[in-house]
Amino acid sequence: DTGVSQNPRHKITKRGQNVTFRCDPISEHNRLYWYRQTLGQGPEFLTYFQNEAQLEKSRLLSDRFSAERPKGSFSTLEIQRTEQGDSAMYLCASSPYASVLTGEQFFGPGTRLTVL
């Protein structure tokens, strides 16, 4: 399968714990995006990387959230001191340089986080 992959697919944690999610983009896609989706809502943009550089952060990305993309390949999203309001589907998307005019982004299956 050459699509975007995300791990784990499901994560259940207790309030106050830290969690980390991983995203592997489509090979040779230089842009990588993180979104959050809650029930009944569309995905909301969190942050994006071009290669290893984090170029934009949404105001939704509080200081408890941190994202990295070392070496411009896979990315991790960490949430520290989780709160019940963090329960959501965390989606990763990637896009190739060729989409610089068209903006196409290809999504992974998501990681569903439940904070108890």
Partner 1 sequence: QKEVEQDPGPLSVPEGAIVSLNCTYSNSAFQYFMWYRQYSRKGPELLMYTYSSGNKEDGRFTAQVDKSSKYISLFIRDSQPSDSATYLCASGGRSGGGADGLTFGKGTHLIIQP
Is 51 a binder of partner 1 (CB under 8 A)? no
Alpha carbons 96 and 87: distance in angstroms, whole number: 30
Show the site string, 26-45: x = touches partner 1 by CB under 8 A, - = not: -----x-x-x----xxxxxx
Is 95 a binder of partner 1 (CB under 8 A)? yes
The identity of residue 114, as a single letter, is: T
Is 48 a binder of partner 1 (CB under 8 A)? yes
The interface region with partner 1, picked from 13-21, 54-62, 70-78, 79-87 by CB under 8 A, is: 54-62
DSSP string of 18-67, one letter each residue: -EEEEEEPPTT--EEEEEEE-TTS--EEEEEEETTEEEEE-TT--TTEEE
Show the site string, 97-116: x = touches partner 1 by CB under 8 A, - = not: --xxxxxxxxxxxx-x----
Is 72 a binder of partner 1 (CB under 8 A)? no
> Considering the complex, what minimum distance in angstroms separates the CB of residue 85 from partner 1?
18
- Beta-carbon contacts of 55 under 8 Å, excluding residues fewer than 6 positions away, are 48, 49
The DSSP call for residue 106 is E
Picking from 105, 81, 92, the residue whose alpha carbon sits closest to that of residue 37 is 92
Residues near partner 1, by CB under 8 A: 4, 6, 31, 33, 35, 40-48, 50, 55-56, 58, 89, 91, 95, 99-110, 112
